[in-house]
Amino acid sequence: MKICKKSLAAILFLIGFLCSVQLVTAQKQDAVQDSIIKNAVDSQHYTFYAEAATPANSKQRFLSPGYIVQVSKDTVICDLPYFGQVYTSPINSTEGGIKFTAARFDYTTETKKKGGWDITIKTKDIPETQTLIFTIYENGKAYLQARGFNRQQISFSGYIK
C-alpha cells in the first residue's frame, strides 16, 4: 500500500512538472509570435489573409483561401471580393471586387492602449479612392474595413503573416 501511495505521488509530481514545462514553452512561443507581428507592422511589410467578409447590412460570409492584401513600404496590392451595394458599376465586368495595386498612398499607424495597432491606408493613385483600415492584434488576428468611393463599406476578418 505504501508503494502504491509513493508511486501515485511520483506520478502526480511528474504530471505537474510536465504541465508547467508545457505552459512555459507555450508562453515563449506566444512571445516570439508577438514580436514577429510587431516587427512586421513596424517595417510595413506584411500580408493580410481574409477568412470571412461581412458586407454592410448583411451577414458574415466565409471565404475560400487566396484573398489577400499585401502591404510593403512602396506598394499595396489588394485582391479581395466584394459583396454589397455598388453605386456606379465598373465599365469592365472583370473589375469586380476590390482589386488594385497602389504605389502612392498615405500610411498612418496608431498603437492601441491594450496592445495592437490601428493602421489606415488611403490610396492616391487609384481613380476610385480606397481606404483600408486595419486593426491588428499582437497574436496576428486582424480586421479590415474597406471603404470605397462608389460602394458600401465591407469588413473582413483574418490574420497577418
Q: Rounded to two decimals, what is the model's pTM?
A: 0.75
Confidence of residue 52 (pLDDT cuts 50, 70, 90): very high
Cβ(128)–Cβ(102) below 8 Å: no
What would the pLDDT profile of 58-99 be if each residue is shown by its tens digit? 899 999 999 999 999 999 999 999 887 777 766 666 667 888
Question: What is the 3 state secondary structure string of 45-97?
Answer: CEEEEEEEEEECCCCCEECCCCCEEEECCCCEEEEECCCCCECCCCCCHHHCC
Q: How many CB atoms lie within 10 A of CB 100?
A: 18
Residue 132 in this model has a pLDDT that exceeds 90: yes
pLDDT given at position 4: 63
Cell 489573409: give the residue: 49
Domains of the chain listed by start with CATH number: 38-160 (2.40.128.410)
More confident residue, 105 or 11: 105
Confidence of residue 129 (pLDDT cuts 50, 70, 90): confident
Q: Across-strand partners of 90?
A: none
Confidence of residue 37 (pLDDT cuts 50, 70, 90): confident
